[in-house]
A = this chain, B = another copy of it.
Amino acid sequence: MTRRTCKQLRIGHVTIGGDAPIVVQSMTKTDTRDVTATINQIKELEDCGCEIVRVAVPDNETAKSLASIKKSVSLPIIADIHFDYRLALAALQAGVDGLRLNPGNIGDREQIAIVVAAAKEKEVPVRIGVNAGSLPVNFQPNMPLAERMVNMALEQIKFMESLDFDLIKVSLKAFDVLTTIQVYQMIADKIPYPLHLGITEAGLPRTGAIRSAVGIGILLHQGIGDTIRVSLSAHPCEEVLVAYEILKSLGLRQRGPILVSCPSCGRAEVDIIALAEAVSKRLQKISKPIKVAVMGCVVNGPGEAKDADVGIACGRGKGAIFRKGEVVNTTSEDSYLEAIMAEINRIA
């Protein structure tokens, strides 16, 4: 995994690109005009580990509420702008830390130039956010979808560069995983800017998390991607949780415990699924990135338990508790949960 080289930029106090950690983003799902609800959701997002939050700005009234929201939260805010460039100007006025423009519905060069001039003055980065679902039908209609998406982004990038603006971040999202992988691969070595990854409209959590993990995971493993947003039809904190699980699985970020637990089979002498669920529930209160193993038999149990910070390898009516590779305790079946939690609490 060699990471793609790109320029670095800052959204508020958060650095994106270069050798900065991959940044986790989400988006509020409240009515942005409801200032209190939006502030509360941004605070929830901050608590669950979100690092940048995007807020929809569909109209003037929303643009006005941005100033109040911005004053009450510490997470950097990106204004999501479609159709009307004047909303971008109002958002900059309100003090946002970043803009997202969709070149599929704000194409007028004079309008873009006005927004870019204002962003440049305030040193606010702009994401060029191309989506498969909002490409104008008359843009290169005879080309394949992937080329159309990449070409639309490249056109917009060149225009912004001609205005001597380089605080640029780029996304090229589609629902289709293979299309998404292809477009990011196509643009990766053509531009020097950070890339924001996502599988758009990925669906409900159970299936959308899997689509997102496959698509974002493949790109990150190729070294592509500087910030990610998982799009799920769910509370935004669920998006953040999934984003961190993707990053943790590739060793790119740490956040909270990692639970190794065996799937159980006809060999297990204990209800390992129930035990894993109980341990998982209690681990939610622990923020330290420890590795915990809950294993049901002697095949892989001792090996995995040994490899974890704390582990239990259950056998016939008895379980061995491991700490950092050594057996520190043996316990009977009725106290597995207490025994492993005691050891976890000792190191957490």
Contacts and interface: CB of A to CB of B under 8 A. Distances in A.
A56 B304 contact: no
Nearest to A199: B249
A166 interface: no
A215 interface: yes
Contact of A261 (B33, B80, B233): B233
B232 A263 contact: yes
Interface in A313-343: none
Contact of A264 (B29, B57, B241, B297): B29
A267 interface: yes
Given A264-B233, A266-B56, A133 B204 contact: no
Interface in A214-241: 214-215, 217-218, 221, 231-234, 236, 239, 241
Contacts of A206: 209, 241, 245
Interface string A6-42: 0000000000000000000001111111000010000
Interface residues of A, number: 85
Interface stretch (A117-125, A155-163, A270-278): A270-278
A91 interface: no
Interface stretch (A43-51, A107-115, A175-183, A186-194): A175-183
Say what secondary structure dominates the interface of chain A.
mixed
Contacts of A203: 259-261, 276, 280
A135 interface: yes
A143 interface: no
Interface of A: 1, 27-33, 38, 54-58, 62, 80, 82, 102, 105, 131-135, 175, 177-178, 181, 200-204, 206-211, 213-215, 217-218, 221, 231-234, 236, 239, 241-242, 245-246, 249-251, 258-268, 272-273, 276-277, 280, 293-295, 297, 299-304, 307
28 contacts: A27-B263, A29-B263, A29-B265, A29-B266, A32-B266, A33-B266, A131-B299, A133-B299, A133-B300, A133-B307, A177-B250, A178-B251, A204-B276, A206-B245, A207-B245, A209-B213, A210-B210, A210-B246, A211-B213, A211-B249, A213-B213, A214-B217, A214-B250, A233-B264, A233-B276, A233-B277, A234-B263, A236-B263
